[in-house]
Each structure stands twice: as structure tokens, then as C-alpha cells.
Amino acid sequence: MLPDKDRPGAQVGGGGGRESSEDPSVSLFREYLRIRTVHPEPNYEAALQFLDRIALELGLPMKRVEVHPGRVVAIMTWEGTEPKLKSVLLNSHTDVVPVFQEHWKHDAFSAVKEEDGNIYGRGTQDMKCVTIQYIEAIRRLKSRGTRLGRTMHLMFVPDEEVGGHKGMETFITHPEFQKLNIGFALDEGLANPTEAFTVFYGERNPWWITVKCTGSPGHGSRFVENTAAEKMRKIINLFLDFREKEKTRLDTSECFTLGDVTTINMTMVQGGVAYNVIPPEMDVSFDLRIPPTVDLQEFEAQIKEWCAAAGDGVTYEFAQKHMNQSMTSTAESNPWWRAFSSACGTMNMTLKKEIFPAATDSRFIRAVGIPAIGFSPMNRTPILLHDHNEFLNERVFLHGIDIYQCLLPALASVPALPEEA
């Protein structure tokens, strides 16, 4: 999969142009990486203008739908020969997470390509690569005169990296979303350092919770009883003891992946006004990711027990609490999965099925009853999303276009389902 380091004519550096030896798809990918759709102030308009240009090149209509002031969902549509059948959605998000430039070997938005073909930039894995791979696969198919049966929509959404509230989570309730008549969706996945390709059929539910501990205030020179800090210590111990048990389950099981266990991480602590004042209230916040196999009502009951055990005046509230546990069937009886896995089989791809450990827009898609698969065709690649020096090798990137060029016609050829007859 990796390129020869001495391949003649390989372009290096972060310049805006390209040598004739560079594949135009790679040049387009690098151009997209240079658009600073980075939080907290993503330049979405530049990305939309980029996509407008591509839609014109492909001869595909593109619609803009503003779902929140300054937040636009763009939809590019390739109409199929059987437009009355449910469509296939190719979803991607345009935003990327912030960078700490001092930890990067190259400017994170210069899209430098080194001699070995590694392209560095924020979004190379998450998920500007997939956006361009969708586009270039369709460009190739159209250039060969291919016509697909089912209509295919390419959707580009904002704000996925900040919770989705101004992107997909809002758009799924919009009338324009209903008009798309989606039957199946592809969304992002993760890289895999092995030969296998990871496929995600479900996601853990993210819960962001703050536990408020109230207690007796007083002077810092005294042994005040029933303080907020004592209760907070008990809460922290209870949460992190559970964390350790889940970590042990993951470490000792040959069958579990990260998506099969619950992670708990303490992320914020607040409280206090001065060194010598015992505060009446202290708060501690946790990030929880809960597999769809866990009974969520029972789990919240456990949290209530922990708060009661910590003492009186201990309460909790959620900043985020996702309860949908929908999973996409990977049984051969599912025609969408059968089309996906069969196409991968013709390419001799090894698939590794998992629960996604974090959160993507797929959770909102599944929540409205649409089966979705998380898939980024990046094998033999270290997982570097949100990390320093995020990169993707150009040969891996180009092979991903080949994969989608085979996958998309297979998905668009799924015969009419019983409910479509």
C-alpha cells in the first residue's frame, strides 16, 4: 500500500501548485485541506465555494440549506435511473478540530507531502479524505458513462466536531432532509494500522455529566464536617473505580474492542473562592461513552446510587445525554450490508466489524431509522484523528477512491425493497 520512497517526480512541500506527476485527486485533496474550517471560527464559506466549483465540474446540482445562522448543509445530488427508490447518502463533515501548531512538524494547514507520500494536515483522516474520495469516485464513474440505479446524495455538514447541534442533529428534522428519501448512509470511520478495514455498525452513547456536591462552608483552619470536597472525593473514587473495572475488562478480553466497554474520564473540576475558605459547593464533570449493549436506565440508576452514597446534597445534571442505541444489521439478510460486504469481498478486503468508540453524525442518522455504516478506507495507517501530525499516505488515499468506485455502484444497485414495491 505504501509508495516507493524513490518514486520519480513525487511532489514535496506545501506549495499551492502541483507537478504533472501528481494525481489530480491528490492535488484536490491537498487544496481542500488548506481551507481552514477549524474551530472555533471555521471558514465554512470557503469550503462551500470549493464544493460549488466541484459540483459545477461534475455537472451535479448542489443545494444549500441553512440550518442555523452561518451554518449551512450542502447537498450534491447524482440522480439515478430509478429516482423513486430510496437514495444512498454519502455523508461527510466539513469542520476540523483545533491544532497545537508547536507539536506539528509542518503547518497543519499547508498540506505538505513528504517524499514517502505522507500528506500532513488537519483533516487528512477526519474526514476531508473521505469527502474527496466520494467526489473523485463519482467523477471517475461519470467520466466512464456509468449510470446508477438509485439516486446518490453527497451531504456536507458543519459542526460535527462540536456536537452536531448546528449541523446534522438539526438537519434531520428539516423538511429538506425528508425529501432526500434516504434508504442507507455511509459516514466516517477510523484508520486501521493493520491490513484490515474497520467497519462501524453502531456507536457508544456520549453522556457528559456534572455532579454537584454541596456541603458545609467554613474557615480553612478548621476540621469542618460534611464538606463538599469530601463528597466530591467519594464521587470521583466511585466513577474512577468503575473506569478501572472497565479498563481491566478491555485489557483482559481477547474479544473486546474499545467500543465494547464504557469509558469514564474526569474532565473538569470547579469550585472555591479563596485558599482559606471551605466552599459550600464543588462540581466535577465526566465524559462517559456507553456501548449500545448497556441498559442505559440501569446505568443511570447506578449513578444515582453513587450520588446517594457520597452523601446528602449530591446531585447531577447532563450537558449531553444520548439515548439512541440503534445499530445497523450486519446480517447477510440485510440487503444493504450484503451489497457493501460483497463489493468489499470482490476487492479481497478484510473487514473488521466494531462499535464506534466515539461519536459521529451516524448516531443522528440511525436515530431516524436509517441504517448507516461508518467506513473510512484507511488501512495500514496509524489512528491520528484529533492528534498532532495527522497524516494520510497518498497511495492509501488513492486506493480509497478505487474502493468507493466499486462500492457506490453496488449500493446503488440494491434491488427494490419490499416497502418500495
> Which positions are annotated as active-site residues?
95, 160
How far is the C-alpha of 210 from the C-alpha of 284, rounded, in Å? Answer: 6
How far is the C-alpha of 181 from the C-alpha of 169, rounded, in Å? Answer: 17
Phi, psi of 120 (to 5 degrees): -100, 135
Of 270, 265, 315, 310, the C-alpha closest to 286 is 265
Q: Letter for the amino acid at 87?
A: S
**In this structure, what C-alpha cell is assigned to residue 280?**
459550600
Q: List the strands of the sheet with 182-187, edge to edge.
A: 62-68, 71-78, 152-157, 87-93, 182-187, 372-375, 197-203, 351-356
Contacting residues for 383 by C-beta, under 8 A, at least 6 apart: 125, 190, 191, 192, 193
How far is the C-alpha of 149 from the C-alpha of 409, rounded, in Å? Answer: 8
State the virtual CA torsion across 327, 331, 336, 337 in degrees, nearest 10.
90
How far is the C-alpha of 73 from the C-alpha of 53, rounded, in Å? Answer: 16
Q: Is 118 helix (H, G, I), strand (E, B) or coil?
A: strand
CA 387 distance to own-chain centroid: 14
How far is the C-alpha of 386 from the C-alpha of 108, rounded, in Å? Answer: 12
Between the CA of residue 20 and those of 9, 10, 24, 27, 280, what are the distances in Å? 8, 9, 9, 10, 68
- Which residues lie across from 72 on neighbouring strands? 66
